[in-house]
Amino acid sequence: MTSSNLPASLDLTGRCALVTGGSRGIGRAIATVLAARGAHVAVNYARGEAAANEVVSAIEAEGGKALAVGFDVSDADAVKEGFKQVGEALGGLDILVNNAGISIDALLMRVKEDDWEALQRVNLRGTLLCSKAAARPLLKAKTRGRIINLTSVVGEQGNAGQSMYAATKAGVIGMTKSLAREFSSRGCTVNAVAPGFIQTDMTDAALQGDAREALLGNIPLGRIGAPDEIAEAVAFLASDAAAYITGHVLRVNGGLLI
């Protein structure tokens, strides 16, 4: 893995990054691309220790640097302990990617309060707790400091059956814009990436048969996205090339929402 052929403004050599939910899907792709650009990456997981270790091994096999760190982003004590471990291992933090997320779909009449609580805990509380735990080192990193939050196309346009999930993702956009204002005095940027439909475990069941065909008909580029296409957007926002972009929601959705 080498970053030597990249324009200097995209190179992340020497940057320290933490990707929450880096064990699978979009998070795995983000961890892999950040490492390929030269960053030393902490790969967080909740339950998938073996999967996270596999991501670390794959990065190391390509000459990159990574470590796995397990904690539940919605557990305040575990987050504090996890960030302490990462700080000790990496010697600082420049880039936080709040990617960990869950989705539970239900039409309003079938919504369960426990599901609503769970979605808020992981998608919103988790993003807030990790951002808070990262604040000191990121502010110290000054113009290298980055928070990149994963929101969703449905946080902007809504979707039948996704009122709970969409509300948490809309909340992430509000949090992103507020933190962009808070962090800007030190040159740190805070942005969000809003994927459309990306092929991962999260969307696998929904992207089958007739539902898949109906969805494809609404995507101008005519295909489901790949995790790497989200990772490329995140790596750009993490780089010096994006130093003057803050409070932005970058849509990566094949034209599903324009």
Site track for ligand NAP across 131-150, x = CB under 6 A: -------------------x
> Interacting stretch for ligand NAP, rule CB under 6 A, among 5-13, 54-62, 67-75, 81-89?
67-75
User: Is 122 a residue that touches ligand NAP (CB under 6 A)?
Assistant: yes
Give the nearest distance from C-beta 151 to ligand NAP in angstroms.
Answer: 7
Q: Specify the residue for token string 């919504």.
A: 111
Q: Please give the span between the terminal C-alpha atoms of the chain, in angstroms, as a whole number.
A: 35
Give the nearest distance from C-beta 244 to ligand NAP in angstroms.
Answer: 25
Query: DSSP letter at 92?
Result: S
User: Is 26 a residue that touches ligand NAP (CB under 6 A)?
Assistant: yes
Q: Binding ligand NAP by CB under 6 A: which of 130, 198, 235, 237?
A: 198
User: Is 203 a residue that touches ligand NAP (CB under 6 A)?
Assistant: yes
- Write down the catalytic residue from 45, 71, 83, 165: 165
Beta bridge partners of 243: none
Q: In this complex, which beta carbon is closest to ligand NAP, that of residue 11 or of residue 33?
A: 33
The question of whether 45 is a catalytic residue gets the answer no
> By CB under 6 A, what part of segment 84-103 binds ligand NAP?
99-103
Active site residues: 165
Residues that bind ligand NAP (CB under 6 A): 20-21, 23-27, 44-48, 72-74, 99-103, 122, 126, 150, 152, 195, 197-198, 200-203
